[in-house]
Amino acid sequence: MFGLNDEELAIFKKLNNPVKIQNFLNKIPVNFEENGDTCLSPRMVLRQNKCHCMEGAMFGALALRINNIGHPLIVDLTASRNDFDHVIAVFKTNGKWGALSKTNHAILRYREPVYDSIRELVMSFFHEYMNDDGRKTLRSFSMPVDLTRFDDKNWVIDEEDIWYIPQHLADVEHFQILDRKQIAGLKKADEIEIKAGSLVEWENPFAKKNL
């Protein structure tokens, strides 16, 4: 199926609901891209046992597809210039939207399928989506992109970086969350919120340490 071998397919078939997929993603170490930027296919995520948010979203979307939970859908969340964008995989349960997310932080994680629309789901990330200075930075989002559009490129098993998918995400229409007046009036996060946001699940072994 999709070019996956029997061993790879068996792993995906065990992830037969969103909670199992999210738990599996949580156990995969974060891809700190120590040798430069990457965009690993789902096969390469399994092979290298690491992923960042984009790679995790594609992996999660494929797991949803293989287990007939829905189309492989991802959503792009864009931030202001002083923060990083984020990508999630989205799914529906009983008509409500939920999300799978690979992140190294205590926030921007899994979302239960309780949201009526993609915008409502995206807004659940808003207050905790902040930079190190405590400024709320989420600015826009895309509608779900169906990864089946890339099936002819073998995105599932490509052993080269699949940059064409994030490039497509960058090109699709995005919907602004705030206008300028709203941005100017945003309250900075409290010190305790900033502290909570600084928690990480995986320590970066490649980060430079002060001697």
pLDDT reported for residue 40 = 98
Contact 157, 150 (CB under 8 A): no
Of 144, 143, 126, the residue nearest 135 (C-alpha): 126
pLDDT reported for residue 208 = 55
| pTM for the structure as a whole | 0.94
Mean pLDDT of 52-58: 98
pLDDT reported for residue 198 = 87
pLDDT tens-digit map of 153-190: 999 999 999 999 999 999 999 999 999 999 999 999 99
Mean pLDDT of 124-146: 96
Collapsing DSSP to helix, strand or coil, 165 comes out as: helix
pLDDT tens-digit map of 99-113: 999 999 888 999 999
Residue 210 pLDDT level (bands cut at 50, 70, 90): very low
Contact 100, 117 (CB under 8 A): no
pLDDT at 82 over 60: yes
Residue 211 pLDDT level (bands cut at 50, 70, 90): very low
pLDDT at 206 over 60: yes
Is the pLDDT higher at 63 or at 211?
63
Other beta carbons within 10 Å of 33:
13
- Tell me how far apart the alpha carbons of residues 60 and 181 are, in angstroms, rounded to a whole number: 36
Contact 168, 144 (CB under 8 A): no
Radius of gyration of the chain (CA): 17
pLDDT at 68 over 60: yes
